[in-house]
């Protein structure tokens, strides 16, 4: 029996075929005279669709097994074992677990049934009708991080408040021949309980950071396996991006290719793409809602967070995992940014190297890690008794349309972005009293952003501005998400972290606006977080205490 989804798709396909046929077949006097042809096409279409709708488990396992490596690459077997994809963390079962043990409101497809069965009659109205978007507020109910100063949101933020620097000498490879030898490198990282060991050895670090931070965020939100079983997974999505993707996996594949293609990691192509982290996380959770990634250089995370929130506001999702991840502290990554002349060379004193707005700043310091927020529709969060950290108000994007790496001379793109974000969020300038700035410790970028902030908020005497990058460096595509966590933590705790290394402030900045070397008490009314990226990408997002 054909499902409604099959019938609809088939009808569309036949209509398309007939349309083309009617336009191109000169022997046909009228489309009305082609009844027999319609029937033949319709029957053929249905047969092909029935053949293509394979069971979900077969489809996923087939995808993985199709990348079975050559014998010369490694000798391990059973690539598609039950625990291949993800670890044994009890809060989240693998998609390969026997679905019969789960008690779902919408039961999973049984072995041998077509994937189209997932479109059940109870869901038809939701698919056919546009959901109401009135008063759909978005809140933050969970957070996860992987950084050089903490792998837990509270540890991470406490270290920020104490002014702890995560910048140190690079240990991952020999960089003695590079002019820059320091970074915000994660020294200790474990995937135990989160990602299966076999997969941990093959994945790029950016994916591992993403998966662990994503699962930690979900655990922090209080979503247990029992709660997951009650959720409508068609309205749960993953939107976590990366600026650079799996650069190491791809670089290793190129080196292997110099010997033979047989030596290449069979996962090098999928594991190098920026979308695969989100995809793998969605597979593990069984989430069938919006699932993709965005890559807009160092503005990636903010783009992902705002787009994820918009899916919720439009009624396309009730819960979204959103943020960013990057891991490019490797020879090609360091070398590339050195070639751009963008990095600090303060190798003799690593913890002092990242110094936004300081007169002696000499470039940014590379960092690595991931940040993930659980964004959730307010009523959905209330219904499951979730704790609410903050409310997401809105944001905006703009383009400088000026230069690949340099900011616009008069800050027009940044100013426009902030003003549009305020308008979108319904927030007045006077209400914004805390800004987590993009400030990367570059001579031009720090000052241009500061001037844009004064242009927009110069009359606000309560305004306080800081830069998380002074302690963890620049996490590229993950920067915005980690800084969003810092902004939410500021709202939760009533404390804002210091700007370390601001020893000799640039004479063009006002220390009455910038946070000093010590943490400060602040009752945050509205927090704004900026992220800007190569290519002139500007993004601003806003959070506020939930009321």
Question: Can you give the length of the chain in residues?
Answer: 547
Tokens of 476: 């590229």
Which has the closest alpha carbon to 521: 471, 464, 439? 464
In angstroms, rounded to a whole number, what is the distance separating the alpha carbons of residues 421 and 428?
10
450 conformational bin, left if phi > 0, alpha if psi -120 to 50, beta if neither: alpha
User: What is d(CA 276, CA 272) in angstroms, rounded to the nearest whole number?
Assistant: 8
148 vs 168: CA distance, rounded Å = 9
Strand partners, 456: none
- Give the C-alpha separation, 406 to 300, whole Å: 17
Three-state DSSP class for residue 377: strand
Residues 536, 448 contacting (CB under 8 angstroms): no
Q: Determine the Cα–Cα distance for residues 314 and 307; give it in Å rounded to an integer.
A: 10
115 contacts 56 by C-beta, under 8 angstroms: yes
Number of helices followed by number of strands (H, E) in the chain? 18, 14
Per the listing, tokens 């869901």 go with 123
What are the residues whose beta carbons fall under 8 Å from the beta carbon of 413, sequence distance 6 or more?
398, 399, 400, 401, 402, 407, 536, 538
Catalytic (active-site) positions: 298, 438, 474
Dist CA 356 CA 352 (whole Å): 11
């Amino acid at each position: 029996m054909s499902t409604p989804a099959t019938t609809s798709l088939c009808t569309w396909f036949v209509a398309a075929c007939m349309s083309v046929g009617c336009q191109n077949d000169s022997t046909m006097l009228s489309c009305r005279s082609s009844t027999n042809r319609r029937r033949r096409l319709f029957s053929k279409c249905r047969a092909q669709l029935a053949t293509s709708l394979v069971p979900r488990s077969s489809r996923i396992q087939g995808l993985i097994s199709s990348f079975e490596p050559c014998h010369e690459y490694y000798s391990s077997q059973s690539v598609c074992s039950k625990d291949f994809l993800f670890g044994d963390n009890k809060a989240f079962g693998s998609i390969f677990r026997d679905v019969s043990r789960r008690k779902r409101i919408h039961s999973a497809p049984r072995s041998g049934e077509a994937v189209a069965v997932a479109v059940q009659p109870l869901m038809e109205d939701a698919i056919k009708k546009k959901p109401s978007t009135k008063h759909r507020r978005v809140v933050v109910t969970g957070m996860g991080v992987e950084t050089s100063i903490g792998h837990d949101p509270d540890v991470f933020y406490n270290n920020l408040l104490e002014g702890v620097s995560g910048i140190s000498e690079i240990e991952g490879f020999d960089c003695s021949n590079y002019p820059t030898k320091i970074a915000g490198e994660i020294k200790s990282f474990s995937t135990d309980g989160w990602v299966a060991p076999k997969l941990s050895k093959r994945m790029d670090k950016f994916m591992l950071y993403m998966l662990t931070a994503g699962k930690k965020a979900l655990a922090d939100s209080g979503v247990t396996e029992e709660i997951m079983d009650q959720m409508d997974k068609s309205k749960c999505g993953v939107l976590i991006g990366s600026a650079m993707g799996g650069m190491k996996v791809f670089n290793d594949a190129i080196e292997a290719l110099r010997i033979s293609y047989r030596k290449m990691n069979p996962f090098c192509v999928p594991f190098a793409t920026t979308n695969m982290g989100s995809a793998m996380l969605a597979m593990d959770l069984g989430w069938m809602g919006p699932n993709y990634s965005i890559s807009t250089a160092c503005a990636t995370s903010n783009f992902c967070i705002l787009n994820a929130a918009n899916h919720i506001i439009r009624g396309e999702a009730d819960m979204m995992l959103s943020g960013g991840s990057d891991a490019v502290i490797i020879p090609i990554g360091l070398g590339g940014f050195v070639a751009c002349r963008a990095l600090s060379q303060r190798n003799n004193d690593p913890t002092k190297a990242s110094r936004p707005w300081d007169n002696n700043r000499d470039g940014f310091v590379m960092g690595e890690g991931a940040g993930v927020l659980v964004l959730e529709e307010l009523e959905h969060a209330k219904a499951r008794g979730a704790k609410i950290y903050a409310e997401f108000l809105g944001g905006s994007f703009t383009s400088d349309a000026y230069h690949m790496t340099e900011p616009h001379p008069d800050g027009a793109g940044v100013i426009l972005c902030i003003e549009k974000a305020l308008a979108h969020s319904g927030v007045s300038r006077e209400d914004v009293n805390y800004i987590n700035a993009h400030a990367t410790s570059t001579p031009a970028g720090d000052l241009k952003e500061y001037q844009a902030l004064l242009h927009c908020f110069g009359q606000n005497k309560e305004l306080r501005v800081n830069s998380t990058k002074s302690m963890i460096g620049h996490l590229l595509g993950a920067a915005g998400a980690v800084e969003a966590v810092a902004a939410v933590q500021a709202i939760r705790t009533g404390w804002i972290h210091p700007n370390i290394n601001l020893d000799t402030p640039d004479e063009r900045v006002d220390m009455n606006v910038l946070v000093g070397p010590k943490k400060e008490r602040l009752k945050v009314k509205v927090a704004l977080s900026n992220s800007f990226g190569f290519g002139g990408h500007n993004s601003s997002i806003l959070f506020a205490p939930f009321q």
